[in-house]
Structure 1
């Protein structure tokens, strides 16, 4: 049995996966704040899952997807600010207590691998065919790219950082210092900051206000669609992936978001025979609501420890 955890800022999603890659148990629990609490969360999740499905035998591996920067080739996480973690070696912290191999991956890459496994089922030995980009639409914007069953990180680990591609030099200031970045237009954090009105779900409020005729909300909503469509075009034009899967908190908007993005892609296709030939609208899909993709991806990544490299670049 393989365990996978998707550690988020407020909750941790955990799954148990059998040798065929089927999810046999799942649970969610609150994520603790700070390094020590994150370690306790991991241990509690693994032990609870192990107790749920004892008939599947002992746990063979644990994979963890976590926000922040994960140093290549290590389990060391740095700058996971939404978890209150400045630096943490998760394998060293939980491995001795669990007694099994532990692998740690950035949460977007874990979600990308899980989405890939759901979209292009892997063979028994973990191989796959086809390519996919997982575009995470949350507080920020980033993508994970998987081709033929392998994550693509690039030469320095920045493959998929499409959020900081500027598409409008006269656009809003991005936290990275550039103007008009995709993230400055389509990131949930940037939209909430520019909307500047209190609310539990600022992006949803923007959509609602736009539909009620608020011009400022309409501008922000149009910018979101423009940014997401630009990210889709970048991913297809640079990596020529078979599919772009949209995930992350903003995708809870569902058909309202997809309608806007599709309209933006259709407009660019209308103006360009070349863009029409790419059939971008047909290559974009929403990850189903409540999908365990990130935790599943973490489990599969953890299981890959015994079969060598899982990533290129």
Structure 2
């Protein structure tokens, strides 16, 4: 059995995956703040998964052959070291070595969006390449290439190739500027996709108190609030721009929308499809690509990131990592 963990800013989700690719245990815990607390959270989730499968705390890790960890931040090339995971209070941490020493099993560490892309490709099934576009506090994508991605009966052991690029920046579409006169992005540019469609940027521009500011924007837009209408429109424009860029540069067959903002469901999906269709009206070429038909929403509650981390944690079983 393998373990996969999706370490988020508020929650950490863990799954145990059997040899046939089925998820046989699933756990969620609040994520601690800072390097030591993050490691402690990971160890507790592994122990909880072992407990679900009948192991005591001391023997939980022995039930598992590998642990894969998906986490925000940069993973230094060729290492298991996490850097600049600011939402977790981590500037630099040798996460893989620390967890492997504590558990005594093989550990792999990857960026959470890339792990989610791998998991989404397999859980979706079918064939063809996919891009997973994460819509959360920020915007980023993971790309799974190759005709074998999520293919038929082989999908559990050959889920495809995560495309990383020469320096690990493949999929960083959030910091592509699509409006030079647009709002300032935290990266220093103007009009980045993330400045238009990222949850943090939208909440800041909305500037009104609330637990779920983007949901509040949609509700206010439906009531006719001018600022909310503008922000909702820019969200759709930003996501649609990311979809166009991903298809035009990689020609993935499907773009799967995931992340916290997809809790908006059909309202977001419909807005993005309408924006894609409106832009394509003036271009025979864009219409030929059927962009609106290539966009899907990740199923609510999907454990894609944790499941993908479990797959990436066992490269000897067919998960190919390039870059």
Q: TM-score, normalised by structure 1?
A: 0.94
Tell me if structure 2 keeps the 8 A contact 1:120–1:130.
no
**1: CA distance between counterparts of 2:85 and 2:216?**
28
Please name the residue that 2:203 is paired with. 192
Superposed CA deviations along residues 149-186 of structure 1, whole A, max 9, x for unmatched, are 01001111111000111111111111111111111100
Q: CA deviation at 1:309?
A: 6.6
CA–CA distance in structure 2, aligned partners of residues 73 and 99 of structure 1: 20
Please say if 1:229 is aligned against 2:229.
Answer: no
Shift of the alpha carbon at 1:109?
Answer: 0.6
User: 1:135-146 maps to which residues of 2 (within 5 A)?
Assistant: 135-146=133-144
Per mean C-alpha deviation after superposition, the further-off stretch among 265-274 and 145-154 is 265-274
Q: Give the Cα–Cα distance (whole angstroms) in 2 for the partners of residues 307 and 291 of structure 1.
A: 23
Helix, strand or coil: the match of 1:136?
strand
Q: Per-residue deviation at 1:20?
A: 1.1
Matched, 1:205 2:203: no
**1:65 Cα offset (Å):** 0.4
Which residues of 2 match residues 125-274 of structure 1 at below 5 A? 130-148=128-146, 149-274=160-285
Aligned-partner Cα distance in 2 for 1:176–1:97: 36
Is 1:81 aligned to residue 86 of structure 2? yes
Query: Matches of 1:189 and 1:47 in 2, distance apart?
Result: 33
Deviations 1:242-285 (A, max 9, x none): 10000000100001101110110110122211111101111100
Q: C-alpha separation between the residues in 2 aligned to 1:242 and 1:118?
A: 16
2: CA distance, partners of 1:157 / 1:274 = 30
Query: 1:64-93 deviations in whole A, cap 9, x for unaligned?
Result: 000111112211001111111111111221
Whole-angstrom CA distance in 2 between matches of 1:82 and 1:296 = 22
Structure 2 distance, partners of 1:18, 1:84, is 33
Within 5 Å, which residues of 2 pair with 1:268-287? 268-287=279-298
Aligned to 1:125: none
Residue by residue over 1:218-252, the C-alpha shift from the partner in whole angstroms, topping out at 9 and shown as x without a partner, is: 00100000000000000000000010000000100
Secondary structure of residue in 2 paired with 1:271? coil
The structural deviation recorded for 1:310 is: 2.2
Q: Tell me the distance in 2 between the aligned counterparts of 1:70 and 1:310.
A: 17
Counterparts in 2 of 1:82 and 1:7: CA distance versus 1, 3 Å: same
Give 1:310's aligned residue: 320
TM-score, length of structure 2 as denominator length = 0.92
Residue 54 of structure 1 and its aligned partner are, at CA, apart by 4.4
CA RMSD of aligned residues (A): 1.5
Conserved 8 A contact 1:39-1:94: yes
User: Which SS does the other structure have where 1:206 is aligned?
Assistant: helix
Structure 2 gap segments, 5+ residues each: 147-159
TM-superposed CA distance for 1:51, in Å, is 2.2
In structure 1, stretches of 5+ residues that fail to align are 122-128
